[in-house]
Structure 1
Amino acid sequence: MAAERGGRARREPVRSMAYVAFGVVLLAGCASMPDSGDLRGVESTPRQDTQVRVFAMPPPEDASQAEIVQGFLEALTSDDPRYKTARMYLTAKAAQAWRPEASTTVLANGPSTEPVRSAGGREDTDSYTYTLTGDRVALVDDQQAYAPAEGTYGKRVHLTRDAKSGQWRIDELPQGVVMGKSDFQRNYTSVNKYYFASNTRATTGAQPIAVADPVYVRRRVDAMTQLVRSLLNGPTSWLGPVVRSSFPTGTALRKGVTSLTPDDQNKLTVPLNEKASQVGLTRCNEMATQILFTLQDVTPTVDEVELQAANGAQLCVLSEDRADAVASHGSVKRPEYLYFLDGKHRLVRMPGGSGGTSADPVPGALGTGDKQLRSVAVSRDEQTAAGVSLDGKSLYVGSMVSGASLGEPVLTSQGKTEGDRLTAPSWDAQGDLWVADRDPAAPRLLLLAKGAGQPLEVEAPGLDGRIDAVRVAADGVRIALVVEKNGKRSLLVGRIQRSGESAEQVVSVLELRSITPELEEITAMSWAGDSRLVVVGREQGGVLQMRYVEVDGSTPEGPAPAALTGVKEIAASEDDRLPLVAYSEDGIVRLPSGAQWQKVVKTGTAPVYPG
């Protein structure tokens, strides 16, 4: 994915994929590969310019078994929309049964091929088998959802010689496609499609909250139409239980519509089938909003969407500017301030977009220094703050209004040491406060409704380890946790599900999944976009590094943040106009777009944006 800092960021590097490419590269598909001997690797295609379309060559006359397998694997990496050339390497029956869209298996390198010899060394002159092998990196499923993978890949393809033509063709093969990591990066791009949180609304109570659902689409194969079809098909199974779509079940493009293209006024007309014909204006505007938010990942040239019924009648027209009034996208509003703790351990703030180096204590008791703090969180409306005491034992919540008092702690940990007490807190989109108690005798993930009242213990089935850090996404339906087990600190993302009425509400974090399996020591993390986090961690035997990671575990396109030594804490905003901020050995520092790290203040800790 192109570099994303959340909000309404455009993704310039993928702009070309929905339009005409500037060149064509042909994959020969006939490189020399022996049909006996040692295992050989199929070389991944070198990375081409993203505006160059790559097409495979059909099988040459009298091609050997090795050339057929080689050519087929090369054809899988081409930009052929329906894999027409790849099917030429198959028998007619196999071509009809093969479903390339079933999955995409990503290997560290191109698949290696090894001939399978028959028992006793006898060879069938009209039948041949190859084994495809490699080290798995990821799997993209039939919903286009990416997931990291590991282990060895091993599948067989069988070839037969046609009795009439004498040509070798593949008659048995695994469903889906397989390719090396470099070919995958050239062929596919990560994009967000958008749905609405089904049990969460912005603190204003009026707007539904848009939730990003990342999927991978083929980069230069009419990505716009691919993505709209994917949106209409519904959310991925992991996110599905906590989001809704405004498109009626069964909605699809009108029969006969094969491609979507905006007109010269940057208006995209989307003809729908009869399932959408009876929707009202409010629902139709939500549908159009989903499309507008989704297409921002594909092209910057769609400013307006018109939805049409099956009979061609206009259902609604919505502009990009009006979409912002229909749903909350990313952060509810642009943060006004950056917050951190000064040398007196009190909460201070400075304007978020400024280049200044002076900060003022926040109004209210948390800014006076009467209670020294070690970590803080500010509500997304920037009216309330929560702070953990310097010893990690007590959690305080106070209004950021001049003269406001603090009162007693809303939560107290019984942990015997500072490291066994409370984590830094985090506010969700509904104004509820999350925190973990690291007490080994009673480790818990807790939720305080509106930051007050009796803490609710959050169920987290499958959680294996102790929570060391908590960050809730702006959409309120996903949560990032740093979990420690046996000295390893992993970054997990889970789905927040709520059930029951407020008085007897049950809140759970389900289907936790690791999104940085290659890192064994996560030291800091923060949400940095609708579907992206910034992470500070270390690989086994490696040095501390800072990188972006998608919630599905994939690595976004674009550069990582500039290197910074001694990073202890990191803060990012879903609004891409605000800089990264960190607490390092140089104090509080920030990284403006296109610049290097700059020192803000020497004495300061725990930087945060609202959330």
Structure 2
Amino acid sequence: MGADREGGARRRPMRAVAYAAWGVVLLAGCASMPDSGDVRNVESTPRQDTEVRVFAMPPREDAPPSEIVQGFLEALTSDDPQYATARQYLTAAASRQWRPEQSTTVLANGPDIEVDRATAHEDTGEYAYTLTGSKVARVDAQQSYTPLAGRYNQPVHLIRDRKSGQWRIDVLPQGVLMGQSDFQRNYLSVNKYYFASDTRARAGEPATAVADPVYVRRRVDAMTQMVRSVLSGPTSWLRPVVSSTFPAGTALPAGVSALAPDDQNRLTVPLNEKAAGVGTGKCWEMAAQLLFTAQNLTPTVETVALQTAHGRTLCTLGADRARTVATHGSAKRPEYLYFLDDRHRLVRIAGASAGTEAEPVPGALGEGVQKLYSAAVSWDERTVAGVGYDRRTLFVEQPAAGGTLGAPVLQSQGKTEDDRLTAPSWDARGDLWVADRDPARPRLMVLEHGTGRPLDVAAPGLDGRVDAVRVAADGVRMALVVERGNGTRTLLVGRIERDSQGGDGPRVSLAGLRSAAPELEDVTAMSWAGDSRLVVAGREQGGVQAMRYVQVDGSTPEGPSPAALTGVQSIAASEDERLPLVAYSTDGIVRMSSGSQWQKVVKDGSAPVYPG
């Protein structure tokens, strides 16, 4: 580990690090800690190569209390599947009561260990410490990530065993505790998949798969962890808007472990008797959930086969057939990239093209009958919506050469342009979303199929005015940029809940709002950029402008951030990650393919969007 914060302590080997590629075993040192005196820090281990595996070392004979606490914390960051070595630092009773699977708490720099001076005497037969630090996040028993802030402060108590004379921990916090870099080395974010509840009711149509990101231990049989997680059901946040095809109680048979695809890229999953009687259609949906999940973890998986515990095949589903069973956002490849030209007309370029020549979209909005400030194109690219240049009016049309522009479907009464309509956004159902920033009546609205009377959307917990709206491809999650009272803007993600049973017509609400970019003080632009990922531009603490990817749960995905770009005003990203990222900045409209730099598309243009 890193050196002791005060720099003067000797290091003692606490865990073994195995390099799988060479079969070499090394000992990694860790800062030791005196039994009294100032606070010391258990710093996180620097990021290791992905081939590195870390194994905990058991307590040595006659180790002092400080070494026992240190060794236990080190063991929590190892690749020990059941934390068997960590339990050796506990009394038998404490080991029985400790539930490491209950949660993982992440601290910024690893826990500080403070001596309780009232018990800092070994001759009393007991010893106490306090673990402290700055909280970053918590992963709960459902493996769901939640950003945290504030101070961590929990006691650890040790006693000396009367028979063996060895110090052991008898009081400790539930769950696992580690620093941020250890968490990044040990844990991996993976999407598991369920189906949007409203699409399951549409006969003859593929179900819409919704990503539910969870964190699993990277080198502790991650595939089996993910299969078990899918079978256990969606996380609490997503559960109100999705469903699983697996019958209640479906699980892996006892003793099953180490699930992995074979040399034909086929993953075989045995299930208990709860799934034995499912029909072929439902079995394919079950297999689709596991296939999408497995591909997110191991992209080479091509087929999922479901079996009974006795080896009877229930069904087999390959990637080609899966597309007819269910769809998900990253599989929808837009045909065009759209933006407004220097005459504020809606124009388009082939989405996968490297060209810069744009053509007007057929119809009045592309012919310049109405100058536009922003626009949105439906997922099937058959309907467009545009906000007028003064941001007061919203128009909807189906592109057709020579078409006439109808009356606006919505008008704002805001007195200034900044107090009027946001850019609109289409969902997968073909409904259109927009917010009105009128201070006298701020509201979020949805227009069914882009027509009819706008329906006000309830948003419990929304504190501030909506500055931007973007619906995910799955149609059940929405990202908002919300302006707070102090003028800064934050990124929130909520789930779209629909109730069609009320006597006064359908009711729609945006529930479960949570921060998706807690590290940014001010968000200026955002777009969905994957099944559970967004790209965000904003200001970090200290005033530094940044563009980065964030997960819907508020965590930071692996991989590099987009290259820096000055003066970003809007971003367009496809949930198909093969298409380039596009932005409108002080340089005009620019785009960037994976691994490349920003390249200019047009100097005089604005408001780029992909369908959605």
TM-score (norm 2): 0.94
Residue-by-residue CA offset, 1:421-471 (whole Å, 9 max, x unaligned): 000000000000000000000000000000000000001011110001000
The structural deviation recorded for 1:83 is 0.6
Residues 1:95 and 2:98 are matched in the alignment: no
Letter in 2 for 1:514: S
What CA distance in whole angstroms lies between the structure 2 residues aligned with 1:424 and 1:34?
60
Residues 1:507 and 2:542 are matched in the alignment: no
The structural deviation recorded for 1:593 is 1.9
What CA distance in whole angstroms lies between the structure 2 residues aligned with 1:201 and 1:490?
33
Partner residue of 1:9?
none
Residue-by-residue CA offset, 1:148-168 (whole Å, 9 max, x unaligned): 000100111111111111111
Partners of 1:65 and 1:168 within 8 A in 2: yes
Partners of 1:112 and 1:133 within 8 A in 2: yes
Partner residue of 1:184?
183
The structural deviation recorded for 1:118 is 2.2
Letter in 2 for 1:506: R
Residues 1:334 and 2:333 are matched in the alignment: yes
The structural deviation recorded for 1:331 is 4.8
Identify the range of structure 1 (21-30 vs 293-302) with the bigger mean alpha-carbon deviation: 21-30
Give 1:525-540 correspondences, 5 Å limit: 525-540=526-541
What CA distance in whole angstroms lies between the structure 2 residues aligned with 1:157 and 1:541?
36
What CA distance in whole angstroms lies between the structure 1 residues aligned with 2:576 and 2:92?
52
The structural deviation recorded for 1:32 is 2.4
What CA distance in whole angstroms lies between the structure 1 residues aligned with 2:191 and 2:455?
32
Question: Where does the alignment leave 5 or more consecutive residues of structure 2 unmatched?
Answer: 1-18
Are the structure 2 counterparts of residues 35 and 299 from structure 1 closer, same or farther at C-alpha, using a change threshold of 3 Å?
same
Give 1:589-600 correspondences, 5 Å limit: 589-600=590-601
Residues 1:601 and 2:599 are matched in the alignment: no
Letter in 1 for 2:489: R
The structural deviation recorded for 1:401 is 1.7
SS state at 1:109 partner = coil
Partner residue of 2:558?
557
The structural deviation recorded for 1:124 is 5.4
Residues 1:159 and 2:158 are matched in the alignment: yes
Letter in 2 for 1:160: I
What CA distance in whole angstroms lies between the structure 1 residues aligned with 2:59 and 2:44?
19
Residue-by-residue CA offset, 1:515-572 (whole Å, 9 max, x unaligned): 1122121110000000000000002332221100000000111110011112111100
Letter in 1 for 2:550: V
What CA distance in whole angstroms lies between the structure 2 residues aligned with 1:565 and 1:343?
20
Partners of 2:369 and 2:405 within 8 A in 1: no
Partner residue of 2:371?
372
SS state at 1:118 partner = helix
The structural deviation recorded for 1:22 is 5.8
Partner residue of 2:456?
457
Partner residue of 1:440?
439
Letter in 2 for 1:487: G
Letter in 2 for 1:103: S
Partner residue of 2:575?
574
Structure with more contact order per residue of length (Cα contacts < 8 Å, sep ≥ 6): 1
Residue-by-residue CA offset, 1:230-275 (whole Å, 9 max, x unaligned): 1110110000110001111111001221221222222221110111
Partners of 1:415 and 1:421 within 8 A in 2: yes
Partners of 1:396 and 1:408 within 8 A in 2: yes
SS state at 1:297 partner = helix
- Aligned identity (percent) is 71
Are the structure 2 counterparts of residues 389 and 415 from structure 1 closer, same or farther at C-alpha, using a change threshold of 3 Å?
same
Partners of 2:331 and 2:576 within 8 A in 1: no
Partner residue of 1:141?
140
Partner residue of 1:422?
421
Letter in 1 for 2:515: S
SS state at 1:70 partner = helix
The structural deviation recorded for 1:488 is 1.3
Partner residue of 1:214?
213
Partners of 1:29 and 1:71 within 8 A in 2: no
Partner residue of 1:263?
262
Residues 1:109 and 2:129 are matched in the alignment: no
Partner residue of 2:398?
399
Residue-by-residue CA offset, 1:302-337 (whole Å, 9 max, x unaligned): 221111123321110111222122101115631000
Partner residue of 1:477?
476
Residue-by-residue CA offset, 1:127-165 (whole Å, 9 max, x unaligned): 111100000000000000001000100111111111111
Letter in 2 for 1:340: F
**RMSD of the alignment, in Å?**
1.8
Are the structure 2 counterparts of residues 331 and 64 from structure 1 closer, same or farther at C-alpha, using a change threshold of 3 Å?
closer
Partners of 2:121 and 2:127 within 8 A in 1: no
Letter in 2 for 1:99: R
Are the structure 2 counterparts of residues 355 and 93 from structure 1 closer, same or farther at C-alpha, using a change threshold of 3 Å?
same
Letter in 2 for 1:414: Q
Identify the range of structure 1 (20-29 vs 265-274) with the bigger mean alpha-carbon deviation: 20-29
For this pair of structures, how many residues does the alignment match?
A: 592
Are the structure 2 counterparts of residues 25 and 287 from structure 1 closer, same or farther at C-alpha, using a change threshold of 3 Å?
farther
Partner residue of 1:57?
57
What CA distance in whole angstroms lies between the structure 2 residues aligned with 1:330 and 1:421?
30
What CA distance in whole angstroms lies between the structure 1 residues aligned with 2:291 and 2:526?
29
Residue-by-residue CA offset, 1:55-105 (whole Å, 9 max, x unaligned): 011101110000000000000000011111101111111112111110000
What CA distance in whole angstroms lies between the structure 1 residues aligned with 2:263 and 2:244?
29
Partner residue of 2:39?
39
Are the structure 2 counterparts of residues 384 and 501 from structure 1 closer, same or farther at C-alpha, using a change threshold of 3 Å?
farther
SS state at 1:138 partner = strand
Partners of 1:335 and 1:609 within 8 A in 2: yes
Residue-by-residue CA offset, 1:198-231 (whole Å, 9 max, x unaligned): 0137999711100000000001110000111111
What CA distance in whole angstroms lies between the structure 1 residues aligned with 2:525 and 2:50?
33
Identify the range of structure 1 (264-273 vs 51-60) with the bigger mean alpha-carbon deviation: 264-273
Give 1:231-250 correspondences, 5 Å limit: 231-250=230-249
Letter in 2 for 1:540: Q
Are the structure 2 counterparts of residues 605 and 201 from structure 1 closer, same or farther at C-alpha, using a change threshold of 3 Å?
farther
What CA distance in whole angstroms lies between the structure 1 residues aligned with 2:600 and 2:440?
41
Partner residue of 1:363?
362
What CA distance in whole angstroms lies between the structure 1 residues aligned with 2:201 and 2:232?
26
Question: Where does the alignment leave 5 or more consecutive residues of structure 1 unmatched?
Answer: 1-18
Identify the range of structure 1 (22-31 vs 473-482) with the bigger mean alpha-carbon deviation: 22-31
The structural deviation recorded for 1:43 is 2.1
Residue-by-residue CA offset, 1:567-593 (whole Å, 9 max, x unaligned): 111100001111001111111111022
Letter in 1 for 2:118: S
Residues 1:85 and 2:81 are matched in the alignment: no
TM-score (norm 1): 0.94
Are the structure 2 counterparts of residues 28 and 524 from structure 1 closer, same or farther at C-alpha, using a change threshold of 3 Å?
closer
Partners of 1:429 and 1:475 within 8 A in 2: yes
What CA distance in whole angstroms lies between the structure 1 residues aligned with 2:461 and 2:545?
28
Partners of 2:330 and 2:577 within 8 A in 1: no
Partners of 1:202 and 1:430 within 8 A in 2: no
The structural deviation recorded for 1:25 is 5.5
Letter in 2 for 1:571: A
Partners of 1:203 and 1:430 within 8 A in 2: no
Are the structure 2 counterparts of residues 312 and 117 from structure 1 closer, same or farther at C-alpha, using a change threshold of 3 Å?
same
Letter in 2 for 1:290: Q
Partner residue of 1:12?
none
Residue-by-residue CA offset, 1:393-424 (whole Å, 9 max, x unaligned): 00000111223222100000000000000000
Are the structure 2 counterparts of residues 98 and 342 from structure 1 closer, same or farther at C-alpha, using a change threshold of 3 Å?
same
